[in-house]
Chains A and B, each alone.
Chain A
Amino acid sequence: MSEIQLVELTVNGERRDLAIEPRRTLVDVLRHDLGLTGTHVGCEHGICGACTVLVDGAPVRACLVFAAQVEDADIRTVESLAAPDGSLSDLQQEFSAHHGLQCGFCTPGFLMLAQGFLAERPDATKEEIREVVASNLCRCTGYQTIVEAVDACAARRRSA
């Protein structure tokens, strides 16, 4: 497995060149090669969703994708959500306001999941939001406050 491949990724709008083994997963590349450690690894088999990032706008589990597979895509990680001056996005603010995080480990995955979903379904009902939130695992909150945070963000965007 020592074969090395040249891979070009576009992450958070920036082009990054890599020389990596083809077996290297997207989440490992993001975290360990590019230093974007906001995206987390919880299970490495696609169940927990802690590693969720956006690939061309759609939420994707970065532990199930090889970096080499997403060369032509626009990849977004949690580091892209806050404004350049560090101020939190509306979605991030609602997570804090609703206590939608405790240990914070699963949080980037939920943020990217919600970010992708709301972009596609700004009129989502609370029940639809709950269904999407059920894609990822959280062990601290019992989910209610995550659903409420995403719902509040959707409402805030609609009334903006």
Chain B
Amino acid sequence: MNEPRFRRDGAWVGASVPRREDPRLLAGRGRFVDDIALPAMLHAQFVRSTVAHGRIVAVDLDDVRTVPGVVAAFSAADLRLGDITALLDRPPHEFVATSMPVLAHDKVRFVGEPMAIVIARDPYAAEDGVEAAVVEYEDLEPVVTDTAALADDAPLVHAEAQRNTLVDVSLFATEGIDDVFADAPCVVRVQTKTGRQNALPLETRGVVAHWDDRDEQLLVQTNTQIPHQVRTVLASCAGLAEKQVRVIVPDMGGGFGQKCVVGREEIAAAAAALRLRRPVKWIEDRRDALTAAFLAREQRYDVRAAFDADGRILGLDADVVCDMGAYSCYPFTAGIEPLMASAEMPSVYKVPAYRVRGRAVTTNKAPTGPYRGVSRPQYVMVMERLMERAARELGMDPVEIRRRNVITVFPYTGVNRITYDPGSYRESLDLCERVLRDEGWYDVRDSDRVIGIGYSCFSERTGYGSGAFAQRKMQVVPGFDISEIRMDVSGTVSVTTGTMSHGQSHETTMAQIVADRLGLDIAQVKIVQGDTDRITYGFGSFASRSITIGGSAVAAASEKLGDQLREIAAHLLEVDVDSTELDGAGGIRLRDDPARRLSFAELADVAYLRAHLLPKGVGPGLSATASFDVAGDGTFSNATHGVVVELDPGTGGVEILRYVCVEDCGVAINPQVVEGQCRGGIAQGIAGALFEQVTYDAAGQPLAPSLMEYKVPTASEIPDIAIHHLETPCAFTANGAKGAGEGGTIGAPAAVLNAVNDALRDTGVELDDTPIAREAVHRALNSALEGTGV
């Protein structure tokens, strides 16, 4: 393994620098998609399916076109766009490719599926128009649950997918694993189901598109995490060359993964703008966001673990079924959840034998895509339940059993053939427990109140490079990032990144990296993101890749520019390049004679305005491009979460009394930003453990179409969270950083569920499903009070 290559001698990296984004956002001067207004702009709304499964007999838009204010209405037949198809390069028995039409034409597969787009002079009129649409369906029997989908005689959501199975992989099967289980002194099993969730960025999806006659380009301003991939799909669907499409991303009000897939509505709205040659805006309303945006997390696990008498895990045997809803998402496909779970389930533990089957089934519900954490909240929950269950069975302390199983020697190559870079798995566990003990929570636990303490330990593979996605066999292999840095005549720099901030503070943290590498103040660094015409290529932001991969590319480009500046300075000062260095204050100096220096402005002046002074062979201008891809299997942040809960026997309510997070994301570029990511992630994890669930009735009608039913936790439900940092620098990135975006979401459900079960320890009941139902807690507590058992 490589030695860490990061530097910590700079002034900026490691400091909680105030965010440069804040002044405009606080003053109401941010610019989000819905803030964009163009002359003669029109507004779009979609005619959406009201049935979960049906054959479309007719989409009649004649009445729509007579509604006052309506300018146009297009069905799939009118727009004639290509389908969106995400592919895995796997044999047919492992993967069935299905297509998602931009507008449904032959069938509808979930309530909320768009079938037509209505364009009007304002959004009110567009909604009037939608109400006038007449759609005739031939009802088909819907498939609403994963178990129903897998039944022999189940109706098919996609004719090409037998047994409604889109992905069926058995990635690992250690030889002799059945013997391991047969001989083990202790075998425990966890069967669990986790609720379907909505990532729910507060800003819904939206797009403003228009054809620019001057540039001969379709200019699409949209709140996507992956601008280049949107360009690719849009060009392909609409039959344009990529150069005829420019995607720009303004400020973005959150995404959490929901905006890192290509949405059909943004394609349809852009296509309508192309057709009408007028600007078209579409802003998703909250009802559509709750019923038709990409969802996540509905998974069923049946997992057994074998332990020896000392509590050491001997083997893991897992069956994972993910309910992917109606369509595969682009570019990740329906494999995103089962492949993630299958590859990484062993988590932070030394698992010698492993067998896993992962499946994605399709149902008549809104489709799923990535959501902060992707499968890791679920399989970590399963692993942590297995640890707790085995501890109970063996009469061990739940922290001690984890201690005996966590990986402590690095680099460690797991049974899943992944090499983990150094982390602080054991240290974070020890510290987390010590904090809760020192704060006296174990004494409170022993009081008469119904109190439990729960933990979760996990690592979080982040910054997936091309190698990791190639292993997954995605046909679109995201991985590398390219950055270009340019110094202008005044000596300040602009740096492009292919990643896309949607709240993670890239304008600040990326600038901190550049500032240290060049010895500049961050005020002299401009970060350019989210514009396909200005950025060579990028894969956007997901999988906590921004700082790990994007930040490494930015660092590499900065260093190249530094080398160029030194070369010019050496020539002008008539010395050898090796005798020059960056002076940390916006200039180049002589190592042995620091008083002799040239400022960047002086060097830039030569590079642009007096190029005849440049050394032979050095061209005018100052710019450098560098790319970065993670060489290893990704980086592994880790953390331990510890939670104290109190249960209310009267209501079954769960109150979180204390939340402690010990996290290690390597070098924290900006600790305040890292803490913000942790806390926000934990809040979403708690939401999944206790509150949020997208539910449907037997006919596939959504039962939580508004925020009255879909319960997003508020400041009353989310506790203060104490965060302790450990720092094990990453060996694979240029700045020592590991991903920090998703850990909170990953650790929280397991810790909360374990704490609730600890509080239920005297009832004989163990709960394994999330969200944890109040009724189940209430029943458990009261049956125990009545002494009836359950």
Question: Using an 8 Å CB-CB cutoff, how does the interface string of A38-76 with B read, 1 for contact, 0 for none?
Answer: 111111110110100000000000000000000000000
Q: Among A36, A47, A131, which residue has the most Cβ atoms of chain B within 10 A?
A: A47
Cβ of A1 within 8 Å of any chain B Cβ, yes or no, is yes
Chain B residues contacting A130 (CB-CB under 8 Å) are 715-716
Instruction: State whether B26 touches A107 (Cβ < 8 A).
Output: yes
Cβ of A155 within 8 Å of any chain B Cβ, yes or no, is no
CA distance A88 to B502 in the complex (A): 23
CA distance A1 to B679 in the complex (A): 46
CA distance A28 to B123 in the complex (A): 10
Instruction: State whether B203 touches A95 (Cβ < 8 A).
Output: no
The 4 closest A-B pairs by CB, nearest first: A38-B28, A105-B253, A104-B25, A103-B503
Instruction: State whether A144 touches B679 (Cβ < 8 A).
Output: yes
Total interface residues in chain B, CB < 8 Å: 59
CA distance A129 to B672 in the complex (A): 22
Interface residues in B95-143 by Cβ distance below 8 A to A read 123-124, 128
CA distance A38 to B31 in the complex (A): 8
Question: What is the distance, in angstroms, from A96's C-beta to the closest C-beta of chain B?
Answer: 4
Contact of B683 among A2, A41, A142 (CB under 8 A): A142
Contact of B285 among A44, A136, A137 (CB under 8 A): A44
User: Which residue of B is nearest A79, CB measured?
Assistant: B28
Instruction: State whether A139 touches B256 (Cβ < 8 A).
Output: yes
Question: What is the distance, in angstroms, from B233's C-beta to the closest C-beta of chain A?
Answer: 24
Contact of A37 among B35, B202, B502 (CB under 8 A): B35
CA distance A40 to B252 in the complex (A): 12
Contact of A139 among B68, B201, B251, B682 (CB under 8 A): B201
Chain B residues contacting A104 (CB-CB under 8 Å) are 21-22, 25-26, 30, 251, 253, 503
Instruction: State whether A103 touches B254 (Cβ < 8 A).
Output: yes
CA distance A42 to B569 in the complex (A): 53
Enumerate chain B interface residues (CB-CB to A < 8 A). 18-19, 21-23, 25-32, 34-35, 37, 68-69, 123-124, 128, 200-204, 251-254, 256, 283, 285-286, 502-505, 672-673, 675-676, 679-684, 706-708, 712, 714-716, 718, 720-721, 744
Taking A88-B27, A103-B502, A105-B253 as contacts, is the C-beta distance between A138 and B35 under 8 angstroms? no
Sorting the interface of chain A by its residue count into under 10, 10 to 19, 20 to 34 or 35 or more gives 35 or more
5 new A-B pairs (CB below 8 Å) besides A47-B707, A97-B18, A105-B253? A23-B124, A99-B19, A101-B22, A107-B26, A145-B676
16 contacts across the A-B interface (CB closer than 8 A):
A1-B124, A37-B35, A40-B34, A81-B28, A82-B27, A103-B202, A103-B503, A104-B251, A104-B503, A105-B251, A135-B714, A138-B202, A139-B680, A140-B503, A141-B679, A143-B714
User: Which residue of A is nearest B502, CB measured?
Assistant: A103
User: Which residue of A is nearest B717, CB measured?
Assistant: A134
User: Which residue of A is nearest B256, CB measured?
Assistant: A139
Contact of A38 among B27, B68, B204, B253 (CB under 8 A): B27
Question: What is the distance, in angstroms, from B254's C-beta to the closest C-beta of chain A?
Answer: 4
Instruction: State whether B28 touches A139 (Cβ < 8 A).
Output: no
User: Which residue of A is nearest B43, CB measured?
Assistant: A32
Instruction: State whether B27 touches A86 (Cβ < 8 A).
Output: yes
Cβ of A11 within 8 Å of any chain B Cβ, yes or no, is no
Chain A residues contacting B251 (CB-CB under 8 Å) are 103-105
Contact of B672 among A32, A99, A107, A143 (CB under 8 A): A99
Instruction: State whether A40 touches B253 (Cβ < 8 A).
Output: yes
Instruction: State whether A105 touches B203 (Cβ < 8 A).
Output: yes
Taking A78-B28, A130-B716, A147-B715 as contacts, is the C-beta distance between A103 and B201 under 8 angstroms? yes
Enumerate chain A interface residues (CB-CB to B < 8 A). 1-2, 21, 23-24, 28, 31-32, 35-45, 47-48, 50, 77-79, 81-82, 86, 88, 92, 95-97, 99, 101-108, 111, 130-131, 133-147
Contact of B26 among A31, A48, A88, A145 (CB under 8 A): A88
CA distance A138 to B717 in the complex (A): 12
Q: Among A40, A95, A142, which residue has the most Cβ atoms of chain B within 10 A?
A: A142
CA distance A146 to B26 in the complex (A): 13
Taking A97-B18, A99-B673, A102-B505 as contacts, is the C-beta distance between A139 and B26 under 8 angstroms? no
Contact of B254 among A23, A111, A139 (CB under 8 A): A139
Question: What is the distance, in angstroms, from B125's C-beta to the closest C-beta of chain A?
Answer: 8
Contact of A96 among B26, B124, B201, B253 (CB under 8 A): B26
Chain A residues contacting B504 (CB-CB under 8 Å) are 102
Interface SS of chain A: loop
Chain B residues contacting A95 (CB-CB under 8 Å) are 22, 26
Contact of B712 among A21, A137, A144 (CB under 8 A): A137
Contact of B715 among A23, A38, A99, A146 (CB under 8 A): A146
CA distance A147 to B717 in the complex (A): 13
Taking A23-B124, A40-B203 as contacts, is the C-beta distance between A142 and B718 under 8 angstroms? yes
Instruction: State whether A2 touches B124 (Cβ < 8 A).
Output: no
Instruction: State whether B124 touches A24 (Cβ < 8 A).
Output: yes
Instruction: State whether A48 touches B18 (Cβ < 8 A).
Output: no
Q: Among B21, B714, B718, which residue has the most Cβ atoms of chain A within 10 A?
A: B714
User: Which residue of B is nearest A2, CB measured?
Assistant: B68
Contact of A31 among B34, B202, B673, B679 (CB under 8 A): B34
User: Which residue of A is nearest B128, CB measured?
Assistant: A1
Chain A residues contacting B708 (CB-CB under 8 Å) are 45, 47
Instruction: State whether A36 touches B28 (Cβ < 8 A).
Output: yes
Instruction: State whether B28 touches A102 (Cβ < 8 A).
Output: no
Instruction: State whether A96 touches B202 (Cβ < 8 A).
Output: no
Q: Among B32, B124, B203, B204, which residue has the most Cβ atoms of chain A within 10 A?
A: B203
CA distance A134 to B715 in the complex (A): 4
User: Which residue of B is nearest A102, CB measured?
Assistant: B503
Chain B residues contacting A24 (CB-CB under 8 Å) are 124
Chain B residues contacting A97 (CB-CB under 8 Å) are 18
Chain A residues contacting B254 (CB-CB under 8 Å) are 102-103, 105, 139-140
Instruction: State whether B22 touches A96 (Cβ < 8 A).
Output: yes
CA distance A2 to B122 in the complex (A): 12
Instruction: State whether A103 touches B18 (Cβ < 8 A).
Output: no
CA distance A38 to B21 in the complex (A): 14
Question: What is the distance, in angstroms, from B559's C-beta to the closest C-beta of chain A?
Answer: 29
Q: Among A24, A40, A78, which residue has the most Cβ atoms of chain B within 10 A?
A: A40
CA distance A53 to B100 in the complex (A): 41
Instruction: State whether A38 touches B29 (Cβ < 8 A).
Output: yes
Contact of B27 among A79, A102, A140 (CB under 8 A): A79
CA distance A21 to B30 in the complex (A): 28
Chain B residues contacting A23 (CB-CB under 8 Å) are 124
Chain B residues contacting A135 (CB-CB under 8 Å) are 714
Instruction: State whether A143 touches B202 (Cβ < 8 A).
Output: no
Question: What is the distance, in angstroms, from A54's C-beta to the closest C-beta of chain B?
Answer: 13
Chain A residues contacting B68 (CB-CB under 8 Å) are 1-2
Chain A residues contacting B252 (CB-CB under 8 Å) are 103
Taking A45-B706, A142-B683, A145-B676 as contacts, is the C-beta distance between A103 and B26 under 8 angstroms? no
Question: What is the distance, in angstroms, from A123's C-beta to the closest C-beta of chain B?
Answer: 19
Chain A residues contacting B18 (CB-CB under 8 Å) are 96-97
Chain A residues contacting B31 (CB-CB under 8 Å) are 37
User: Which residue of B is nearest A126, CB measured?
Assistant: B720
Chain B residues contacting A145 (CB-CB under 8 Å) are 676, 679
User: Which residue of B is nearest A96, CB measured?
Assistant: B22
Instruction: State whether A105 touches B505 (Cβ < 8 A).
Output: no
User: Which residue of B is nearest A144, CB measured?
Assistant: B720
Instruction: State whether A81 touches B503 (Cβ < 8 A).
Output: no
User: Which residue of A is nearest B744, CB measured?
Assistant: A142
Chain A residues contacting B505 (CB-CB under 8 Å) are 102
Chain B residues contacting A134 (CB-CB under 8 Å) are 714-716
Instruction: State whether B28 touches A141 (Cβ < 8 A).
Output: no
Chain A residues contacting B30 (CB-CB under 8 Å) are 38, 104-105
Instruction: State whether B28 touches A21 (Cβ < 8 A).
Output: no
Instruction: State whether B253 touches A141 (Cβ < 8 A).
Output: no
Contact of A48 among B25, B27, B202, B744 (CB under 8 A): B202
Instruction: State whether A142 touches B682 (Cβ < 8 A).
Output: yes
User: Which residue of B is nearest A37, CB measured?
Assistant: B35
User: Which residue of B is nearest A43, CB measured?
Assistant: B286
CA distance A79 to B26 in the complex (A): 9
Instruction: State whether A139 touches B202 (Cβ < 8 A).
Output: yes
CA distance A138 to B34 in the complex (A): 18
Instruction: State whether B502 touches A32 (Cβ < 8 A).
Output: no
Taking A39-B28, A142-B679, A142-B721 as contacts, is the C-beta distance between A103 and B253 under 8 angstroms? yes
